[in-house]
Structure formats: structure tokens, C-alpha cells
Amino acid sequence: MSFSKSRTGGGLPTKSDINTTPLVDVMLVLLIIFMITAPLMSHKIGIKLPQPNPNPTENKNDPIRLNITDSGGITQIYLNDEITDMQGLLIAFREEGKKSEEEQAEFKILADDTVPYQLMTEILAGARRSQVEKLGFAELFKPGDRTMQ
């Protein structure tokens, strides 16, 4: 709203109507934004979700526990509660990768939150290169506790 009054007393008359131009400008901008974004919101992305198996097959092999800890910059890798290094882990991946998918044992990874991200990516890349099909993450554990929950 704009009101003006001349000091000299004989100027322009008082303007008492509402200026709707800024309101119309804002509404047009919003209309254009919604016209552009509305088709994007209805765009469908194809995602292939895993489907439940009505007849689950029992895995005859016990899962292989892979515990990874990092304390004070020293990373320790445990394969079924036996300490190993990265080379030993890659050998275990290769041995399981040679088996068919049905015969492979599942690797259950338990890692605490101090394990470097780079080490986890190296482990996952090594499993993929070795064609290990069954790899999963188990519940996190507290440092010093090496038992699977």
C-alpha cells in the first residue's frame, strides 16, 4: 500500500488502493516453477527390487564371519575368529568364488565404526573380483566384543 501526501498542501491526491503488481509477479513465478517441477515429480525411475522367495532354500554351509576392527590405526581382520591379513582374506574369497552360487557360504561382515572406508571398499571389491555372490553385513558390535549378535 502506498500513501503519499504533499507537504505544500496542493500536490497529488492521496493514493489509497492496493498495488497488486508484486503479488501477480510472485504468483506468475510460482506458477512457472510448479509447471517445470510437476512433470519431474511424476517421472518414474525403474528400480529392480529383490523379490521374496516363496520356497527359501536352506544354506547347508555355515556363514563365514568376517570381523574387522580398527583401534589406534591398527586394523585387524578376523576370519571365523582367526586373525588374518588382507591376502588371506582374498584367498578365502577366491576359494568361495570357485564354488557355484548354491554351494557358496555366506560372508557376514561385522565392522566397527572406526574401520576406514577405504579398507571396506577394498574388501568389497576383492569379493566382487573373486565372484563371491553371498556377502552381507551383520549387526555392528562394540569394540572388543567379537561375538555375532
> Is the Cβ–Cβ distance between 110 and 68 less than 8 Å?
yes
Q: pLDDT, tens digit, for every residue of 25-54?
A: 999 999 999 999 888 777 777 888 878 877
Q: pLDDT, tens digit, for every residue of 93-119?
A: 898 888 887 788 888 988 888 888 888
Asked if pLDDT for residue 12 goes beyond 80, the answer is no
Q: pLDDT, tens digit, for every residue of 53-82?
A: 777 666 567 888 888 888 877 888 888 888
pTM across the whole model: 0.53
| Count of beta carbons in the 10 Å neighbourhood of residue 123 | 22
CATH number of 64-137: 3.30.420.270
- Report how far Cα 23 is from the mean position of its chain's Cα atoms: 42
- Number of residues assigned to the chain: 149
HEC profile of 128-149: HHCCCCCEEECCCCCCCCCCCC
